[in-house]
Structure 1
C-alpha cells in the first residue's frame, strides 16, 4: 500500500495555535514574544531550511511522485524506496527532522509559518507511524506499480514531458533504472511470501494482464518505445540516431528481459502464495496498519467503526433522494434500481463522436466562467485546458485532472476518457467537471502551486483535503443551477452514493472481516453495477483507507460551512468562506476546523 506524502494524525499544537487569546501569567511563550526580532527571524530561517531539506529528501526518495505532483526536477530518476537499506535511511532522516523541528521555537513564528510548522509536524509524525509496517514487501498491485506508471508516461502528454532532447534522455534514464527496481521488487515479494505479507489472489489475477502487456515481441511494438515513434522532426539527425539506438538497446537488452522475469515470477511463484483473505486485518499487525492508513487518509482520529456508521447513514440519505428523483426521470421501480435503469436508457448516451463529448465540457467550462465569480474571489492564475486522454493510456485511465507546471509552462488539464462515445454517459458530466476541473481540483491545486509556500506544501497534500474539497465543489452545482435537469442531479447523487458506499465497504473489508465477494455483493446491491463493484472492491483491497478521505473531507467542509452560516447569519460570506478554506493551501482537517473557527470568532 502506498500513502501520500502528507499523512497521519494532527498534533495538539495545531489546535492550540488557533485558540482565543486568554489572560495568563508571564510564561515562556510571553518571553519568546518579547525576544529580539532577530530571534524570530532566525526561527523562521531554521524552519524554512528544514522544510526545504525535508521536501527534497521526500522528492528524491519518491521522484516519480514528485513528477506527478508537478515537480519535474527529478524526471530522470525512479528512486529505490522499496530497497530495505534505502527505506531505513529515509526513516532515520524523518527521526532527525522531527528532532530538529521540536528544537525550533514555534511561538516566535508568524501565523503563516506556524501553519508550516504544524503541517510539517503532522507529516513527520504520521510518516513515522508507518515505520513498523513492511509496506516495501508489497511493492506493486493492480492500482499502483512502477512499470505501469512509467508506461503511462510514454506518450509525453501527462506529468512527465517528453518533447526536448533532454526530456527524452530523462525518460530513457528512468527506463534504464527500471530493471533494477523490478529485481528488487521480486526480492521483496519473496521475503513477503515467507512472512505472510502478500497480496490477495484476486489482486494478483488483476495485476498479471497489465504486466504481460508491457513485455513485447518486438522493440517497435513496446509501449516504452513510444517516444521514438514520435521523435520531433526538429531534432538533429545525430540526436535522432543516438536516442533511437539507446532506446532500442535499453528495451531489447535490459527492460524486456526484466519484465519477462517479473511476469514469470508473479505467475509461477507469487500467485500460488497469494492469500485467500481480502482485508488488511489478515496481515501481521494488520489492524494497527489499517488504523494508520485510516488516520493517513482522513487526517482525523475517527475509528473504522465510526466511519462505517457514517457511511451507512449517508447511503440511506442518498437512496431516499433517489426515491424522490426516479419518477421525475420516468422511473417507477425501487430506488436501488435507478442507476441500472438510467444506464440502459439510450437518451442518456447521446454521443456519436469524441468531439461531441468535448463540446459539452467546453460549454460547461464557459458557463462556469459566468457563475463562479459570485462564489470565489480567490482564483488561480493558471488556465484550465480540456483535452481528450491519449489513445495510448485511454484503456486504463479514468477522467482526471493534472496539475499545471510549477513554472507556468503547462496549464492544468481536465482529461476526459472517451473509449467509445456511444457508451459515454451524459448524466454525470456536470458533477465530474465540477470535481476534476473547476472549482474542484483546479482551484485548489493550481492555487496552492501559486502560493508562497515551502515546496513540501506546494507539491504535497493530503487526501482528505484534496478529494474532500473536490467532492464539496460538486455540491456547489446545485446553487449554480447545474442540477435543475433531473438527469444531471441523478449523476450528482450517483457519484455521491459511490463515495458514501466506500466508507461502508472499505471499513467492512479491513476492519469487519468482509470478504471480496461480500463487498462486491453490497456494492452491486447499493450501486447496481457489476463492473464497478468488482474494480472498486479490488481498489480498496489494494489501497486500504485511501477511498475514505473523499467523503470524510467533504462532510467536514459542509459541516464547517453550516457552522459559519449559523454563527454569522447575515455576516456570512460564501466567497470569504472559500477563501478561508483554500487560502492557506492544503491542511489537515483538524487545522482547517481551527482556521474556520478562528475566522468565525474574528467575524463576530
Structure 2
C-alpha cells in the first residue's frame, strides 16, 4: 500500500466517484479542441479553480502533500482537526463546487474535461463527509501526526532534511506539534462526550507508540535526530543556531505535550474507549461507512455486494490451492495450505534484515530485464529499497512512497522486517511487484512526471492506485516469476488476503463482526497468526480503505479481458498498460470510458 497520511483527512478529500458527476461525453470521444471563442477563457477558469483547490487542500493537510511528493508545504503542520478550520474548509469546498458549476465542460478539450470531471467528483464527494465528525478520531495506531513526524526525523522518508532550509522546515513542523496535540486531546474529550471513540483494542495498540516518543532529555528525543546528523558543510553559526533551536523547542514545548498526550490516553481515553469493533456502532456509523466505501472504491457498490464478491473470490482462490498443495508436499484440505506453509521452516530462511533486502535487490535487477516486454511507458525516477524505521515497524505494513516532484528523492519501497527469522520468502515476489515495479512505482512515479494539475499530480483515489498495484502482481505469472509453486502460492495467498479484506472489512463495519471473529477468519483463511490481529485492527482504524485493492484490480482485469476479446490480434498488452497509466489516476468509471474509447479507435 502507499503510505499517505491524507487517509484520515475528511475521509480522504480525493474521495468517492459520484458517478452522476461525470460529463455525459465521458463515454464517447471528446472534441479534439474547444470550438467556441470563449473556450480559452473557460479553460483558464478551470485551471485557476483547480490551482486554488489544491492550494486549499495542501494548506489544510500539508502532511498529505509531503507524503504525495510535494515538499513545498514541509514547514506547515496544519490544523485540519480543529472544528473552526474544518468548517472553513467545507465552506471553501462549497464555493469551489459552485464556481465549477459555472464552467461549461463542452467547451473544454478532452484533457481538460478529464480534469473537470475529476475535480467535480472530488469536490462533491469530499462534501459528503461534512456530516461525519472524523476530527473527533484524530489518531490511531495506523496514522497519527506525532508518529509521522517522528518517522520523518531521519530525513529518509517523505520529508527531506538535508539543507538549512529543510532543517528549519522540519523544526517548524515539530514546533507546531504541541498545539496539534492539545487540539487532538480536546477533540477526543468531545468524542468521549458524544460516544465517538476508538475501540479499546486500537487504543491499546496506539498507546505504546506515544509512550515510546517520551524522552528524559531533548537530546534523546527522536525529534532531535536531525541535530545528530548536521552536515559538515553547514556553517558553524547555522550549526549552533539549529542545535539551540531544536533543543529549546523540544524541551520547552514538545516533551511536555507528548507527556500530556500519553497520560491522557492511558488515564482518560482508554477507560472510555468502546468494546465494539465496527463503525456501525458509532452514531450515524452506517451512513459514515457507506461514504467511506464510495470514497475508497469509486463505485456505488453496497457493503453487502462487496461482502459477496469477497466470499466468491476467496472460494475461487482456494480452489487453486487444491492443485498446488501436493506439489509442495501438502495433502490436507485446500483451504489449509496457507496455514500449513506458515509452519514450514523452509519458507523462513532469513537470519538478518540485510538478507531480506538482498533478495529484493536481486528481484529488482531481474525485473529490469523482463518488464520492457510488457511496458513501453516507464517512469524516469529510480526506485530505492529501504527498511521501515524501527519506531513504526510494529504496526506498519510494507509500503511505497512517491518520488519528490523535483526529482530530489527517488520512489522508495519500505519493507517491514520486525524479525528476519519470521519473514517468509514465498510472498516476496508478489509483494515487490505490488509495492515496487510495476506496481506503485510505475503508476505514482509516472504521475509525478506528467503535465497534470497539482490536485491530480499529488492526489488520486484508492481504487485505481491499489487496484493497479494488485493487478501488477498478476503479471508475475506472465513474466515466469511464479514457476516455483511456493512463490505462486505466495502470490495467491496475497490475492487471498485482498479478497478476505472484502469479507472482513464489511463484516466488521456492517454485519456486527467482532475483532475476535475477524482475527479467527483471517487466521483460518490465510494462516496468519500475529498478522491477523494487526490486519484486523488496520481495518478497524481505516474503515473501507482495504476495499479499493480488489475492487480496482477486478475492474482492470475486466477491462483487459474486454479489450483482448474485442481486438483479437490487434490487442497489445504494452498499449493496454499505456492506456491505463498514461493519464494518471482516474476514478474507475472514467478509466472504463477511456479504455472503451481506445478499443473503439483500435477497431477502426
Please, what TM-score do these two structures have when normalized by structure 2?
0.96
Q: Distance in 1 between matches of 2:137 and 2:242?
A: 34
Q: Distance in 1 between matches of 2:23 and 2:591?
A: 10
* Candidates 8, 12, 20, aligned match of 1:4: 12
CA-CA distance at 1:390 after TM superposition: 4.5
* Residue aligned with 1:73, SS: helix
CA deviations over 1:239-296 (Å, ceiling 9, x no partner)? 2222112111111111111111111111111112111111111111111100000000
* Residue aligned with 2:424, SS: coil
Q: Equivalent residue for 2:499?
A: 500
CA-CA distance at 1:419 after TM superposition: 3.6
Q: Equivalent residue for 1:329?
A: 328
CA deviations over 1:289-312 (Å, ceiling 9, x no partner)? 000000000000000000000000
CA-CA distance at 1:220 after TM superposition: 2.1
The answer to which of 524-533 and 63-72 deviates more is 524-533
How many residue pairs match? The answer is 595
* Residue aligned with 2:220, SS: coil
* Gap regions ≥5 residues in structure 2: 1-7
Contact 2:23 2:117 in 1 (8 A): no
User: Which runs of structure 2 are paired with 1:341-360 in the superposition (5 Å)?
Assistant: 341-360=340-359
* Residue aligned with 2:313, SS: helix
CA-CA distance at 1:394 after TM superposition: 4.3
CA-CA distance at 1:397 after TM superposition: 3.6
* Residue aligned with 2:412, SS: strand
CA-CA distance at 1:365 after TM superposition: 1.4
* Residue aligned with 1:547, SS: helix
Q: Equivalent residue for 2:5?
A: none
User: Which runs of structure 2 are paired with 1:395-434 in the superposition (5 Å)?
Assistant: 395-434=394-433
Q: Distance in 2 between matches of 1:536 and 1:360?
A: 25
Contact 1:5 1:462 in 2 (8 A): no
CA deviations over 1:73-95 (Å, ceiling 9, x no partner)? 11111100000110011001100
Q: Distance in 1 between matches of 2:213 and 2:482?
A: 42
Q: Equivalent residue for 2:270?
A: 271
RMSD: 1.8
* Residue aligned with 2:197, SS: coil
The answer to which of 186-195 and 287-296 deviates more is 186-195
Q: Distance in 2 between matches of 1:21 and 1:409?
A: 38
After superposition, the Cα gap between the structure-2 partners of 1:417 and 1:450, relative to the gap in structure 1 and judged at 3 Å, is same
CA-CA distance at 1:582 after TM superposition: 0.7
Q: Distance in 1 between matches of 2:64 and 2:118?
A: 19
Q: Distance in 2 between matches of 1:506 and 1:320?
A: 23
After superposition, the Cα gap between the structure-2 partners of 1:369 and 1:390, relative to the gap in structure 1 and judged at 3 Å, is same
Q: Distance in 1 between matches of 2:339 and 2:203?
A: 29
The answer to which of 404-413 and 109-118 deviates more is 404-413
The answer to which of 332-341 and 474-483 deviates more is 332-341
Q: Equivalent residue for 1:35?
A: 36
* Residue aligned with 2:73, SS: coil
Contact 1:11 1:118 in 2 (8 A): no
After superposition, the Cα gap between the structure-2 partners of 1:499 and 1:35, relative to the gap in structure 1 and judged at 3 Å, is same
CA-CA distance at 1:143 after TM superposition: 1.0
Q: Equivalent residue for 1:68?
A: 67
CA-CA distance at 1:392 after TM superposition: 5.5
Q: Equivalent residue for 1:26?
A: none
Q: Distance in 1 between matches of 2:578 and 2:22?
A: 20
Say if 2:146 is the partner of 1:147. yes
Q: Equivalent residue for 2:211?
A: 212
After superposition, the Cα gap between the structure-2 partners of 1:84 and 1:21, relative to the gap in structure 1 and judged at 3 Å, is closer
CA deviations over 1:329-359 (Å, ceiling 9, x no partner)? 1112222322232222222222333333233
Contact 2:443 2:584 in 1 (8 A): yes
User: Which runs of structure 2 are paired with 1:69-108 in the superposition (5 Å)?
Assistant: 69-108=68-107
